[in-house]
Structure 1
Amino acid sequence: MNASLTDSAALGRRIRERRRALGATQQSVADSCGVSRKFINELEAGKNNSSLGLALKVMGVLGLGITAAQPQSQNAKDYGREFAATLAAKDYRFALRLIGDYAASSVADGRPSLTSVPRIDDADYLVALAAITRWIATTTGSPAPGWSLRTKRSEAPIFPAEKIHPVGSRMKELIRQGTPPDLAAMNVWIRERDLATV
């Protein structure tokens, strides 16, 4: 079984998932590999100080291999910079289109393109981008970047379209009905069909 890995945390999660799926304990894997249980614990926790050779040995015992992550497409953009410039200019119409472009491009690449937190001042858009990034990860079966997982849910509902024009209660209900669970969990409301066509 191969694992597509992007960082030590993803490797640790994958090893823990596989160990649990096999019904093995950290100690039994450690004994099979000739390492301490502490090493297995730190490896599963994604600590960067783990030996690559020993990590590969653990993966071998668990039947895991490594595959290269998919490269970004030739058309990949620096979406963090694009969103920062667009929102700084308060061009919300283009920002809404950029959401669709980001979602479609990332799904085509098989993983979220925003791998680090975008440097934007608009808190609502930051939560919206985190929610969309989580949706992309779920849709593509890839790991969600840590920044998107650390971003907290909005207390107030976020409808990005409201930055352009008022959205009535009837339209809000339609948007809510078509919003994917990853976005709804963050209190961000965008229809799934609009993510690629905004």
Structure 2
Amino acid sequence: MTVECNIDTPAEAGALIRAQRTEQGWTQLALADAAGVSRKFLIDLESGHDRAELGKTMAVLAALGLSLSTTTPIPRGREHDPERRDYAATFTDLIAKKDFEFAIKMLADYASASLKAGRPLLQRSPQLKDLRWSAALAGITNYTAHLLDQPAPDWTRHIQPLNEAWMPAESYRTVREPMKQLTQSETPHELAVMNVFIRERSLATV
């Protein structure tokens, strides 16, 4: 008889992963390489660090042949599938609600989903009233097109660079000067020319 156990905390997830890794004979380095994560991430995950990223955690579980299950049906449909999401409508709604923190998360989702789909998903202008977010989406669209070695959609050529440097993160929190400098130094060219600054690693594409 199989006994089902709930995983309710990061510590429990870490303990399970460590036990399974040991039982299957993986070293931390070998498992990290197989899952495509750093050894430091795996160490943090096994120790129950509560800020471990879910995507990387799922990759580690998959490498061990493990998966998560639920008795609650998983939501389906366009809004739950990054490659089918209507990003123009999503950003219009989030900006109207001033949910800027989630809007920034959606910038990263848009970049990742575009790369996974093999094309920039915004082929038409999102027609946002906020010029800053239009510039950000144009920059990310050009960035993903460049990585995919494709021409950028025509609408991006009609979006003008901002008059002043802008960091989307400043929409909802204060960004200290050292972080501003780091962000500017690690922003992809396609965003920097729009005067929008987001670290490449924050786009979850590398």
- TM-score class normalised by the smaller sequence: 0.5 to 0.7
TM-score by length of 1: 0.60
**Which residue is equivalent to 2:189?**
181
Higher relative contact order (CA 8 A, sep 6+): 1
Determine if contact 1:116/1:145 at 8 Å carries over to the other structure.
yes
Alignment length (residue pairs): 125
**Which residue is equivalent to 1:85?**
93
Determine if contact 2:135/2:161 at 8 Å carries over to the other structure.
yes
Which of 138, 143, 152 in structure 2 is aligned with 1:135?
143
Per-residue deviation, 1:121: 1.8
The answer to whether 1:150 aligns with 2:158 is yes
TM-score by length of 2: 0.58
Determine if contact 1:183/1:190 at 8 Å carries over to the other structure.
yes
**Which residue is equivalent to 2:68?**
none
Q: Distance in 1 between matches of 2:157 and 2:143?
A: 11
1:13-61 CA-partner distances (Å, limit 9, x unpaired): xxxxxxxxxxxxxxxxxxxxxxxxxxxxxxxxxxxxxxxxxxxxxxxxx
Q: Distance in 2 between matches of 1:168 and 1:127?
A: 23
Task: Identify unmatched segments of 5+ residues in structure 1.
Answer: 1-72
Task: Identify unmatched segments of 5+ residues in structure 2.
Answer: 1-80
Which of 111, 116, 121 in structure 2 is aligned with 1:108?
116
The answer to whether 1:169 aligns with 2:190 is no
1:101-137 CA-partner distances (Å, limit 9, x unpaired): 0000001111110111113221111111111111011
The answer to whether 1:159 aligns with 2:167 is yes
Q: Distance in 2 between matches of 1:168 and 1:149?
A: 32
Identity %: 39
SS at match of 1:77: coil
Could you list the runs of 4 or more consecutive aligned residues of structure 1 that deviate by over 4 angstroms after TM superposition?
none
SS at match of 1:190: coil
Q: Distance in 2 between matches of 1:75 and 1:100?
A: 13
Q: Distance in 2 between matches of 1:186 and 1:134?
A: 10
Cα RMSD of the aligned pairs, angstroms, is 1.6
